[in-house]
Amino acid sequence: MPRDNATFEPVRDWSTYPPVQETIRSDGSLGWLKRISPVVLTHRWRILWSVVAALVAMVAQILVPRVIGLAIDRSLINRTSGLWFFMVFLLILGVARAAATFGYRYGLYGMAFKVEYQLRTLLFQHLGKLSFSFFDRVQSGQIISRANSDIRSVQMFMAFAPIMAVQFFSFVVAIGLMAAISVPLTAITMIALPGVFAIGQRLRKIMFPLSWVIQSRQAEIATVVDESVNGVRVVKAFAAERHQIESLARGAERLRWANMVQHWTRASHTPFIENLPRVALAVVLLVGGLQTIDGSLTVGELVSFNLYILLLQAPFRFIGMLLILGQRAKASAERIYEILDEVPAVVDRHGAVDLVPSGGHVTFSDVSFAYGTEIVGGTPGKESAPLVLDRFTLDIPAGQTVAIVGRTGSGKSTIARLLMRFYDVQGGCVSVDGHDIASVTQTSLRAAVSLVPDEPFLFSTSVHDNIAYGKPGASRQEVEAAAIAAQAHEFILDLEHGYDTVVGERGYDLSGGQRQRISLARLFLSDPQVIVLDDSTSAIDVEIEERIHGSLSGLMRERTTIVIAHRLSTIALADRVVLVEGGRVVADGTHQQLLDGEPRYVETLAASLGEDSW
C-alpha cells in the first residue's frame, strides 16, 4: 500500500555531520586570502592564542644572543657576575621557548587542518548542488585534483604562513636589538635587504603561473588515471594498454617539465636570497673585529651581534619557501574558487514547497529541451544544440503504467531525467499532481519519484548499505524483504559474507544482472510514489525477469510507473504504450493497438528487438 502522504518527511538524516555553514566570499575581485577569510576567521581564538604563543617563543629566542653576550662580558671577561645565573636564565628561556613552540605549532596546524576539512566539505557540498550539466563538461580528474592536492596546498600555506610571519616579526625585533648594540654594523647588515627584496619579487611573479601550470597538469594525470581505472574493461577489450600508458607518460613528462622549470627557478633565485646576508656577515666580522680591537665594541657585544645575524638567516631562508607556498596556494585557491563560483543550473526556487504526492499524476506539457543549453537564474543560455524533445506532451494519470518506446536518440532517457529534474526544461512544464516540479524542492521531488537507470551504480560498500542507500536506517529485515522482491536474496546469500559482502569498484565484481537486481531492491526499499524504470532489467535473464515483473506488478499497483522499454516482456508490464520519435509523441495506445495500426511502432520494435523476438 502507498505510504501516508499527509506530510513530507526526508528519509535521510545527516545530523551526525552537519553541513559547514561558513563559505568563501563571492566577490571574485577580492584577493584569494580575503575570499577565504570567513572560513579562517571561524578559528580566530585558536589563531590568537597560537600567535601569542609564537610571540613568547620568539621573545625567548631573541633574548638568547643578548644573554650569551652579557655572560661573556660579565662572567668570562670582567668577572663581575657569576656564570650560573646566566646558565639558569638560558635554561628557563629554552624551556619557555619549547613550551611556546609546541603551543603555537599545535594550534596553527590544528587550524590549518580544520580549514582543510571545511574547504573540502564546502567543495563537496557545492558539488552536490551542481547540476548534471556541470559534470557533463568537467572531467572527473579535474574535480578530484582540486578536492585533494589543491586543498592540501592551501592547508600547507595556512599552517606555515603564520609561523613564517612570526619569523619576520622576529627579524624586525632583532634589527632593533642589533641597532642598540651598534648602528653602523646594523646599517652594514641592512645593505643586502634591497637585493633580497628585488629577487623575492621576481621569484613571486614567476612562481604563480608555474604553480597554476603544475596543478593543472597534476589534474590531467588524475584524469588519465581515473579514466583508465573506470574504463579498464574498454581498455583491455581493445588491447589499448599501450595507448593509456603513453597518455599517462605524456602527461607525466609535461608535469616533469613544469616541475623542473619551477625548481630551476627556485634554485637560481634562492641562493641569492639566502647568501646575500652572509656577505654582510663577513663585512660585519671585519668591521666589528676592528671595533673590538680599538675598544669601541666588547667581545660579548660582537658575539651577540653575530648571533643575531645568524638568527636572521632563518627568515631569509623562509622567504623562498613562503613565496613558493604562497603562489602555489594562490593558484590552488583560484582553481577551487572556479568550482565554488559555479552557479547551479538547477536550484530550488525562492518559496519552493515540499511535494507531497497525492497519487502521482505526471504531465509533460509542450516540453522542449536540448543538452548543453543551461538555464541559470531563470535565464536560458544560447541554444546551439539540437532539440532532444520538441514540444513533447504526455499525460500519465495517477496509478497508470506507461511504456515509452523509441529508437536510440529519440529522447526516452531524457524524459526520465527531466522528470527527476536533473535538468531544467527550456520550454513547457513538467508537473506532478498539478505541481510544477520547478516550484517544489528537489529533495521532496526525488523522494516522490525514483529512477532505476539502465546502468546501475553500486558503491564500494556492503550489499546491505547499497540496498539501504535511499533509506540508511533500514533494518536487515527490511533490506532482505526488498532483496527478495527484486529476486536478489538468493545470490546475495551465496556471496562470501552475504549482505555484509563489500562489492568492488562500481560493483563490477558482480554480473550486470546482479547489479540491476540490487538497484531494483534499492527501489523497492525506498517506496516511491512515481517509479521510472529505464531499461532496468536489460541484463537479467528471462526467467528471473519474469519473477521480478511479478514483484514489480505488486509494487506498481496504485503507483504511477514510467517504463523506458526495449523488451516486449517489459512492455507487457504497461497499461499503455507511447511511441516517441523526433522528440514528440507520435503514437499512443496499447501494445496490440500500436502493433496492429502503427507501422513506425513495428519498425521500432524490429530495430530494437530483432524480427523473430516478437
The reply to whether 102 falls in a domain is yes
**Do 207 and 158 have their domain in common?**
yes
3-state secondary structure of 74: helix
CA distances (Å), 196 to each of 153, 168, 270, 319, 542, in order? 25, 14, 9, 9, 78
Cα 297 to Cα 282: distance, rounded to the nearest angstrom: 17
Structure confidence at residue 140 (pLDDT): 77
Angle at which helix 299-340 crosses helix 83-129, to 10 degrees, equals 10
**Do 419 and 319 have their domain in common?**
no
Site of grid cell 565484481: 509
Cα 364 to Cα 39: distance, rounded to the nearest angstrom: 44
**Do 506 and 450 have their domain in common?**
yes
**Do 419 and 336 have their domain in common?**
no
Domain boundary among 283, 308, 340: 340
pLDDT, tens only, 400-418: 889 898 888 888 889 989 9
pLDDT, tens only, 269-284: 777 776 776 777 777 7
**Do 169 and 118 have their domain in common?**
yes
CB 188 within 8 A of CB 363: no
Q: List, in sequence order, every beta strand (DSSP E) within 409-457.
A: 427-432, 435-436, 449-452
Half-sphere exposure of 116 (CA within 13 A, CB side): 19
**Do 384 and 317 have their domain in common?**
no
Q: Is 235 exposed, middle or buried (0-12, 13-18, 19+ CB in 10 A)?
A: middle
Pairing mode, strands 530-534 and 449-452:
parallel
The reply to whether 464 falls in a domain is yes
**Do 213 and 94 have their domain in common?**
yes
The reply to whether 163 falls in a domain is yes
**Do 378 and 284 have their domain in common?**
no
Site of grid cell 495517477: 398
Site of grid cell 540496498: 467
Q: Which three cell numbers stand for residue 581?
A: 520519435
CA distances (Å), 122 to each of 15, 154, 335, 447, in order? 16, 14, 14, 24
**Do 76 and 137 have their domain in common?**
yes
The string over 434-444, giving b where at least 16 C-beta atoms fall within 10 Å of a residue's C-beta and e elsewhere, is ebebbebbbbb
Q: Which residues of the chain have pLDDT under 70?
A: 1-19, 197, 204, 227-240, 274, 277, 313-320, 373-385, 505-506, 535-556, 608-614
Q: Which helix (H) or strand (E) holds 193?
A: helix 193-230
The string over 28-41, giving b where at least 16 C-beta atoms fall within 10 Å of a residue's C-beta and e elsewhere, is eeeebeebbeebbe
**Do 189 and 289 have their domain in common?**
yes
**Do 393 and 477 have their domain in common?**
yes
Which CATH number does the domain housing residue 392 bear? 3.40.50.300
Which CATH number does the domain housing residue 233 bear? 1.20.1560.10
The reply to whether 349 falls in a domain is no
**Do 292 and 371 have their domain in common?**
no
The reply to whether 354 falls in a domain is no
The reply to whether 167 falls in a domain is yes
What's the total number of domains in the chain? 2
Helical H runs in 130-150? 132-137, 140-145
Q: DSSP letter string over 259-287?
A: HHHHHHHHHHHHHHHHHHHHHHHHHHHHH
Domain residue limits at 125: 32-340
Cα 320 to Cα 322: distance, rounded to the nearest angstrom: 5
Q: Which three cell numbers stand for residue 572?
A: 507487457
The reply to whether 6 falls in a domain is no
The pTM of this model reads 0.73
The reply to whether 14 falls in a domain is no
CB 525 within 8 A of CB 470: yes
The string over 271-295, giving b where at least 16 C-beta atoms fall within 10 Å of a residue's C-beta and e elsewhere, is ebbbebbeebbeebeeebeebbeee
Structure confidence at residue 377 (pLDDT): 44
Identify the CA nearest to 325 among candidates 155, 109, 165: 155
Structure confidence at residue 368 (pLDDT): 92
Structure confidence at residue 70 (pLDDT): 84
Structure confidence at residue 543 (pLDDT): 57
Residues listed for the chain? 614
